[in-house]
Amino acid sequence: MNFGYTDEEERFRQELAVFLDKHLTEEIARQNWEDKGVGPEAREFSRKLAAYGFLGMGWPEEYGGKGLPPAYDFILLDELGKRWGAHVPLDVGYTMVGHTILRRGSEAMKKEFLPKIVGGEIEFCLGYTEPNAGSDLAAMMMRAEDKGDHFLISGQKTFNTECHYADYHWLAARTDFSPQGTGYKGVSLFIVDMDAPGVTVRPLWTMSGERTNEVYYDEVKVPRERLVGEKNKGFYYMMEALGSERNQVFVPSRLRPVLNMLLAYAQETRYQDRPLSKDPVVRRQLARAAVELEVAEVVADHSRWLEALELPMTHQPEMTKVMVSELEQRLVNAGMRILGPYGQLEEGSPWAPLGGRIEWYYLHSFMTTIGAGTSEIGRNVIAQRGLGLPRG
Amino acid sequence: MDFRLTPEQQMLKDSARDFLADHCSSDFVRQMEQDRRGFTSELWAGMAELGWMGLLIPEEYGGIGWGLTELVVMAEEMGRACLPGPFLPTTLGALALAQAGNEAQKQEILPAVVSGEAVLTLAYLEAGCAVYDPLFQAATARKQDGAWLLEGGKLFVPDAEASHWILLCARTSGSLRDQEGISLFLAPRAARGLELRPLKTIAGDKQFEVSLKEVALPPDALVGEAGQGWPLLEQLLMTGALAKCGEMVGGAAKVLEITADYAKERVQFGSPIGRFQAVQHHCANMLMDLESSRFITRKAAWSMGQERPNPMLVAAAKAWVSEAYRRVVSLGHQIGAATAYIVEHDMTLFSRRAKAAELAFGDAAYHYGQVAQRLGL
């Protein structure tokens, strides 16, 4: 049993910390965190990360990586998270799509996309959810007709975040319309240029000020080489990738800055001649959050460790997802209670405490138990895969 | 990072599970709740034969000299079987002697602990203190005519009657909640002036009130230096908290097994109830509480054996696991429903022990306080 890091891993962490403290500005961190959306600064930071050798640690050397264990990429995510970075700037490609290309893509596809993903140059957006296929994702209806050398795709996607700045759509669409092809069986994955004729992106603004999108396809021609792996296997590839995606997207360390901010606030803010931190209720709330964060970290570490050793992952990444997202909600709720009436003040308002960050995070936190699968679906998965309870 | 047990730890765990399956059935556990002593000599001798009481005792005194990681791994099996008896108090007493005892104390008692001949316990809490607070030490010890004279009382002392020796905390200087001035003494249970009164507890375990009326102990009954006992006591309590966390993890694992099996078999509305989302969500919550409890407990135990230990993790573990185990037994009862509420059902063993374990060595509220302090609040 060992819960620590090797000397090499620690050395990498320290070098990375020095780099991030210098180059990861608040502006970039916030572009990263979706509330501002990736702009030129975040893209430049992405290329710099790669140039300094901090991207691609766990990727194969033939595609521009360093061939090291996945632990290094997790350290990168942890260190970004501690600094409000949340994830690498172009994270859909790097933490999600790229791994499936590596596993299932043709050699030509790997050569075309992986070096650019590892180099921090290109970004993807996920094209899964549809108006009538949310939690029941296998009900998707987007049509991709096989025309031999290309597919002709029509239909609508929704809540596709990042599509307004991504270079490519990672699109799931139905390719089998026979009675055998219903549900998860007849779905395929494609890589589509975002500027392909017939693709229209329209904004949907969320209550925390982040942008997500509706994406319309009107007879979009997608070359056959952009079909990922085998036809009609797309849903299987999506599920196969899910565990690793959860491990990389639900990073407990990103709650550290929130907790630290609240700890400092409680110590510096006085009421009735003593700091708020002497109030028993405030103490309990902050201690509880700190305990939950320790717990979430070791739960996430376990799931990551399974992934690193290529051991079977069943319910563990889902557990990480549910626990980290619900902890986030409890933490910012505690924060709002501690801030009292000042909690309602937005960034830029007179008297806004902590730069309005808790107010923003509070609004954002409504999404965390929904996005990438609701907590309820998560619990079904945990009960069914973790305990063998019967499917509905 | 490696979450696996070493082959030695796995062997220890497997042999503990086999032994307890043979010697500690739930019928036996129920019987022992009614028994005055709370365990049998056969059980204790069997545990000694497997070397359990020597787990933390250095090899030079006949023990195995292992660490806290092994202790929590063993404790998981003990919690799973609801093992009755004085394993943990004896282990803590022995640890106190191994850490701070004089050579004569070690030579006399440690090998006897290993062989199963000596049972020990630790007496540190007191009546008159409304909350769990190990710094509240009102019992006094003063030097008189070359002997130590102890006066006062202790409460919640496990297995005091079955013990041959009691590690007593008493104040040799300072005022009520000072760290400075707390001392530990090794007293024979049969010492004159030391009286026991049994308590009746939720878990049917054997706890006692110990009253001390001019208990005279020889000068060499002192364990460690006079007035300097707090760091030792603190270490013993952290060890106890970790072991309790291990017990709770083992208990939670068994409760979830019972519950998931039941949810798969029990048919209502024409379907196993485990197919219903409400039941699945309860079970998923139980699994999350179980696994998170196991990982944080093992990590905290591992950390305490490192060059730079992190004691905050111990408090975090005891706070988290205490609450998580209570949630697990509550949901287990909810799914097991009326059947699991009947006294013959094993669930009732676990839910009562969950509360006892939650309270032992400080409940969640106490440990949140410890965490707050260590966060600098």
DSSP assignments along A58-119, one per residue? TS-GGGT-----THHHHHHHHHHHHTT--S-TTHIIIIIIHHHHHHHS-HHHHHHHHHHHHT
**Residue A220: burial class (beta carbons within 10 Å; 0-12, 13-18, 19+):** buried
In a domain, B235, yes or no: yes
Judgement on whether residues B365 and B285 belong to the same structural domain of the protein: yes
What average pLDDT does range A326-334 have in this prediction? 97
Query: Which pLDDT does position B122 carry in this prediction?
Result: 98
**Other C-beta atoms within 10 Å of A25: how many?**
13
Instruction: Judge whether A263 is closer than 8 Å to chain B, CB to CB.
Output: yes
Q: Give the mean model confidence (pLDDT) for residues B35-42.
A: 98
Judged by CB atoms within 8 Å, which residues 58-97 of A form the interface with B? 71
Q: Say yes or no: B68 and B35 in one domain.
A: yes
Same domain, B34 and B52: yes
Cβ atoms B249, B321 nearer than 8 A: yes
Residues B208 and B252 in one domain: no
Task: Mark yes or no for CB contact B377/A267 under 8 Å.
Answer: yes
Tell me if B2 is assigned to some domain: no
Note whether residue B183 is domain-resident: yes
Provide the shortest C-alpha distance from residue A268 to chain B (in Å): 10
Question: CATH code at B139?
Answer: 2.40.110.10
Asked if residue B235 and residue B221 are part of one domain, the reply reads no
The reply to whether B26 falls in a domain is: yes
**What does the pLDDT read at residue A350?**
98
Q: Is A160 helix (H, G, I), strand (E, B) or coil?
A: coil
Q: How many domains does chain B have?
A: 3
Residues B111 and B199 in one domain: no
Is B283 in contact with A383 (Cβ distance < 8 A)? yes
What are the chain B neighbours of A315 within 8 Å (beta carbons)? 287
Q: How many residues does chain B have?
A: 377
Residues of B in contact with A379 (CB under 8 A): 277, 280-281, 284-285
Do B157 and B105 lie in one domain? The reply is no
Domain presence at residue B368 = yes
Q: How far apart are CA A251 and CA B367, in angstroms?
A: 26
For residue A181, what pLDDT band results from cuts at 50, 70 and 90? confident
At residue B264 the predicted structure's pLDDT band, cuts being 50, 70 and 90, is: very high
Question: Which pLDDT band holds residue A87 (cuts at 50, 70, 90)?
Answer: confident
Q: Give the end of a domain, one of B185, B203, B227.
A: B227
**What is the domain-level CATH number for residue B255?**
1.20.140.10
Going by C-beta distance under 8 Å and a sequence separation of 6 or more, which residues neighbour residue A167? A122, A123, A124, A193, A194
d(CA A126, CA A134): 13
In a domain, B1, yes or no: no
**Distance in Å, alpha carbon of A181 to nearest chain B alpha carbon:** 26
CB contact under 8 A, A284 and B368: yes
A285 has a pLDDT exceeding 90: yes
Query: Tokens standing for B64?
Result: 């195995």
Residue A85 has pLDDT above 90, yes or no: no
Q: B83 with B250: CB under 8 angstroms?
A: no
Rounded CA-CA distance B35/B330 in Å is: 27
Domain check: are B239 and B214 in the same one?
no
CB contacts, 8 Å: A302 with chain B: 3, 291, 295
* Chain A to chain B Cβ contacts (< 8 Å): 146
**The pLDDT of residue A46 is above 80:** yes
Query: Does residue B332 sit within a domain?
Result: yes
Domain ranges (residues) in chain A? 7-89, 126-236, 250-387
Whether residue A34 is predicted with pLDDT greater than 70 in this model: the reply is: no
Tell whether the model's pLDDT for residue B145 goes beyond 80. Answer: yes
Asked whether residue B209 is domain-assigned, the answer is yes
Residues B215, B236, single domain; the answer is no
Task: Please report the pLDDT score of residue A35 as a whole number.
Answer: 61
Cα-Cα end-to-end distance for chain B: 31
Query: Which pLDDT value is given to residue A392?
Result: 77
pLDDT in tens, B324-360: 999 999 999 999 999 999 999 999 999 999 999 999 9
Q: Which of B1, B281, B368 sits opposite A3 (nearest CB)?
A: B1
User: Domain residues for B46?
Assistant: 7-87+94-117
A residues 337..376 contacting B (CB < 8 A): 376
Same domain for B126 and B215? yes
Q: Do B320 and A299 touch (CB under 8 A)?
A: no
Task: For the domain made up of A7-89, give the CATH fold.
Answer: Butyryl-Coa Dehydrogenase, subunit A; domain 1 (1.10.540)
Touching B: A residues 301-340, CB under 8 Å: 301-302, 305, 308, 315-316, 319, 322-323
Cβ contact (<8 Å) for B264 and A322? no
Query: Looking at beta carbons, which residues of chain A come within 8 Å of B264?
Result: 388-390
C-beta separation of B248 from B326 below 8 A:
no
Q: Where residue A89 falls among pLDDT bands split at 50, 70, 90?
A: confident
Q: Does residue B145 sit in the same domain as residue B260? A: no
Question: What's B34's domain CATH number?
Answer: 1.10.540.10
pLDDT digits (tens, 9 = 90+) for B284-302: 999 999 999 999 999 999 9
Considering the domain architecture, whether residues B362 and B238 belong to the same structural domain is answered as: yes
Q: Is A71's CB within 8 Å of B288's CB?
A: no
A126-236: CATH architecture: Beta Barrel (2.40)
Is the CB of A136 inside 8 Å of chain B's CB atoms?
Answer: no
Instruction: Classify domain A250-387 by CATH architecture.
Output: Up-down Bundle (1.20)
Facing residue for B375 by CB, picked from A287, A391, A392: A287
